[in-house]
Amino acid sequence: MSDIIVTKGVKRGFPVAGGETFWALKGLDLTIPEGALTILKGRSGSGKTTLMNILSALDLPTEGEVYLKDLDIAKLSESDREKIRRHRIGFIFQSVALIPVMTAYENVEFALRMAKYDGDRRKRAEECLKMVGLGSRLHHLPQELSGGEQQRVAIARAIAHKPKVIFADEPTAELDTNTGLQVIKIFKELTATEGITIVMTTHDTELMKLGDKVYQLEDGELVE
Amino acid sequence: MFNFIFQKILNKKWMVISLLIGNLLMVAVAAANPMYSQAVLQRTLVQEMSDYLTTKNKYPGTIIVRNNYSPFSKEKSLEGLQATEDMLGEMVDELGVTVLEEVRHLYRNNVRAVHEVKVEDGKNEMMAEITSYSNFEDHIQITHGRMYSDEIKDHVIEVVVNERTLVENNLILDEVLELAELPDANGVPYKVKIVGIFEHKTDQDPYWVSSPSYWKEDFVIAENIFREILYNPANTEMGFTAEWHTVMDYTAMRADKVEQMLEIVEKYEIISNDMKVVHMGTYFQETLEAFVPVAQKLNTTILVLQVPIFVLLAAFIFMVSRQMLEIEQNEISVFKSRGAAKNQIIYIYLLQSLIIAGVGILGGIPLGVLICKILGASNAFLEFVQRTALPVEVGPMAWILALGAALFSVGTMVLPVLRFADVNIVDHKRRKNRAAKRPWWQLVFLDVVLLGAGLYGLYSFKGQEEFLAQQVLEGASLDPMLYFSSSIFMLGAGLLILRLLPWLIKLVFVIGKKWWPPAIYASFLRIQRSNNNQGFLVVFLILTVAMGIFNTQTARTINANGEEKIRYVTGADVVLREKWGNNEQQVAEDTTGTLELSYVEPDFGKYQQMEGVKSATKVQVETKVSVSVEKGKINNATVMGINTKEFGETAWFKESLMSVHWYKYLNIISQNANAILVSSNFKEIYGYKVGDALTYTNNAGDSTRGIIYGFVDYWPSYSPVTISRGSDGVIKETDNFLIVAHLSQLQAAWGIRPYQVWMDVEGSTQFLYDYAQETGTKFTVFKDTAAEIVDMKNDPVFQGTNGILTIGFIIVLLLCATGFLIYWILSIQSRTLQFGIFRAMGMSKNEIWSMLLNEQFFISGMSILGGVLVGRIGANLYVPLIQIAYSSADKVIPLEIVSQASDFLRLGIVIGLMIVICLVVLGALISKIKIAQALKLGED
Phi, psi torsion values for B342, nearest 5 degrees: -55, -40
**Residues of B with CB below 8 A from A169's CB?**
935, 937
Output helix, strand, coil percentages for chain A, rounded to the nearest 5.
35, 30, 35
User: B187 lies in a domain?
Assistant: yes
Say what the pLDDT of residue B475 is.
66
Could you give phi then psi for residue B389, rounded to 5 degrees?
-65, 150
| End-to-end CA gap in chain B | 33
- Distance to chain B for A213, nearest Cα, Å: 22
Reference B574, options B535, B603, B615; nearest CA is B615
State the smallest CA–CA distance between residue A192 and chain B in angstroms: 24
* pTM: predicted TM-score of the whole model, two decimal places: 0.75
Residue B506 forms contact with A (CB below 8 Å): no
Domain-located, residue B330: yes
Of A140-149, B391-400, B492-501, B812-821, the poorest mean pLDDT is in: B812-821
Give B863-915 pLDDT, tens digit per residue.
Answer: 889 999 999 999 988 888 887 777 654 556 666 777 777 878 877 887 788 77
Q: Output the CA–CA distances (angstroms, integers) from residue B522 to B365, B830, B848, in the order listed.
A: 46, 16, 10
Running DSSP on this structure, what letter comes out for residue A212? S
Chain A contacts in chain B segment 824-853 (CB below 8 A) = 833-834, 836-838, 840-844
Report CA dihedral (B639, B645, B647, B649) to the nearest 10 degrees: 160
Helix intervals (H) in B463-615: 465-473, 480-511, 518-529, 532-570, 584-589, 605-609
- State which of B754, B777, B800 marks the end of a domain: B777
Q: In this predicted model, which residue has the larger pLDDT, B356 or B477? A: B356
| A100 touching B (Cβ < 8 Å) | yes
**Do B395 and B256 form a contact (C-beta atoms < 8 A)?**
yes
User: Considering only residues 155 to 194 of chain A, which have any Cβ-Cβ distance to chain B shorter than 8 Å?
Assistant: 169
Distance from CA of B885 to the nearest CA of A (A): 52
Separation of alpha carbons B485 and A155, rounded Å: 56
Q: By CA distance, what is B521's nearest residue in A? A: A110
Residues in chain A closer than 8 A to B929 (CB atoms) = none
Is the pLDDT at B670 greater than 80, yes or no?
A: yes
Alpha-helical (H) ranges within B255-341 are 258-274, 285-337
DSSP code of B435?
P
Summarised one tens digit per residue, pLDDT across range B621-640 is: 988 898 888 778 888 899 99
Interface test with A, best of B428, B533, B937, B939 (most A CBs within 10 A): B937
Instruction: Answer whether B935 sits within 8 Å of A24, measured CB to CB.
Output: no
Distances (CA, A) of B813 to A142, B546, B554, B806, B912: 39, 11, 17, 11, 11
Distance between CA A163 and CA A124 in Å, rounded?
A: 13
Q: Among the listed ranges A135-149, B150-164, B220-234, B363-377, which one has the minimum average pLDDT value?
A: B220-234
How are beta strands B581-582 and B599-600 bridged, if at all?
A: antiparallel
B526 touches chain A (CB under 8 A): yes
Is the pLDDT confidence value at A209 over 90?
no
User: Which among B149, B121, B301, B283 has a CA at the least distance from the CA of B223?
Assistant: B149
d(CA B367, CA B677): 58
Determine the Cα–Cα distance for residues A29 and B382; give it in Å rounded to an integer: 71
Is residue B30 classed as helix, strand or coil in its secondary structure? Answer: helix
- By C-alpha distance, which of B432, A187, B470 is closest to A201? A187
**Statement: residue B618 has pLDDT above 90:** yes
Structural domain for B772, as ranges: 580-777
* Residue A140 confidence (pLDDT) above 50: yes
Residues from chain A contacting residue B521 (CB–CB below 8 Å): 110, 113
Kindly state whether B430 is in contact with chain A, defined as any CB-CB distance less than 8 angstroms.
Answer: no
Whether residues B389 and B415 share a domain: the answer is yes
Of the candidates B358, B397, B315, which has an alpha carbon nearest to the alpha carbon of residue B811?
B315
Which residue is closest to B524 within chain A, CA to CA? A101
The DSSP 8-state label assigned to residue B883 in this structure reads G
Which pLDDT tens digit goes with each residue over B265-275?
999 999 988 88
Q: Are residues B92 and B198 in the same domain?
A: yes
Task: Tell me how far apart the alpha carbons of residues B245 and B102 are, in angstroms, rounded to a whole number.
Answer: 6
Is B724 in the same domain as B605? yes
Q: Would you say residue B370 lies in a domain? A: yes
Are residues B272 and B323 both part of a single domain? no
- How do B189-200 and B140-145 pair as beta strands? antiparallel
pLDDT reading at B775 higher than 80? yes
**Which value does ipTM take for this structure?**
0.82
Distance CA B842, CA B845 (A): 10
Cross-chain residue pair B837–A111, CB shorter than 8 Å: no
- What residues of chain B, 877 to 936, have a C-beta less than 8 Å from chain A? 931-932, 935-936
Summarised one tens digit per residue, pLDDT across range B490-502 is: 989 998 998 888 8
From A198's Cα to the closest Cα of chain B, the distance in A is: 16
In a domain, B328, yes or no: yes
Which of B6-20, B57-71, B705-719 has the least mean pLDDT?
B6-20
Task: Please give the Cα distance from B386 to B753 (Å, whole number).
Answer: 45
Q: Are residues B126 and B263 in the same domain?
A: yes
- Residues B68 and B160 placed together within one structural domain of the fold: yes
Does B932 score more than 70 pLDDT?
Answer: no
Judge if B37 and B137 occupy the same domain. no
Q: Which of B224-238, B527-541, B710-724 has the lowest mean pLDDT?
A: B224-238
Over residues B120-160, the pLDDT tens digits come to 666 788 888 889 999 888 888 899 889 998 888 888 899 99
Between the two ends of chain A, the Cα-to-Cα distance in Å is 21
Distances (CA, A) of A72 to A10, A84, A91, B70, B892: 12, 12, 20, 124, 84
* Phi, psi for B210 (deg, rounded to 5): -125, 130
Q: Is B589 exposed, middle or buried (0-12, 13-18, 19+ CB in 10 A)?
A: exposed
Q: Are residues B2 and B122 in the same domain?
A: no
Quickly list DSSP for B535-569. Answer: HHHHHHHHHHHHHHHHHHHHHHHHHHHHHHHHHHH
Residue extents of the structural domains in chain A: 3-223
Based on the structure, what is the number of domains in chain B?
Answer: 3
Within a domain: B611:
yes
| Ranges B149-158, B765-774, B826-835: which has the least confidence | B826-835
If asked whether residues B50 and B67 sit together in one domain, one would say no
* Claim to verify: residue B216 and residue B135 sit in the same structural domain: yes
CB-based contact B521 A79, cutoff 8 Å: no
Contact between A9 and A65 under an 8 Å Cβ cutoff? The reply is yes
Find, among B160, B161, B168, B176, the residue nearest to B123 by Cα.
Answer: B168
Q: Do A113 and B936 touch (CB under 8 A)?
A: no
**Coil, strand or helix: which one is B263?**
helix
Question: Which of the four pLDDT bands, split at 50, 70 and 90, describes residue B19?
Answer: confident
The answer to whether residue B565 is domain-embedded is no
Q: How confident is the model at residue B233 (pLDDT cuts 50, 70, 90)?
A: low
Q: Which fold has domain A3-223?
A: Rossmann fold (3.40.50)
Give the domain-ending residue among B382, B403, B434.
Answer: B434
How high does pLDDT run on average in chain B? 82
Q: Quickly state the pLDDT bin for A117 (edges 50, 70, 90).
A: confident
Say yes or no: B74 and B52 in one domain.
no
> Measured at the alpha carbon of residue B49, what is the angle toward residues B46 and B54, in degrees to the nearest 5?
125
Per-residue pLDDT, averaged over B320-328, amounts to 70
Mean pLDDT, range B249-275, rounded to an integer? 90
Look at residue B938 in the predicted model and tell me its pLDDT.
35
Strand ranges (E), B665-767: 675-679, 693-697, 703-712, 721-725, 731-735, 738-742, 756-761
With CA atoms as reference, report the closest residue to B716 among B646, B780, B765, B768.
Answer: B646
The alpha-carbon gap from B840 to the nearest alpha carbon of chain A, in Å, equals 7
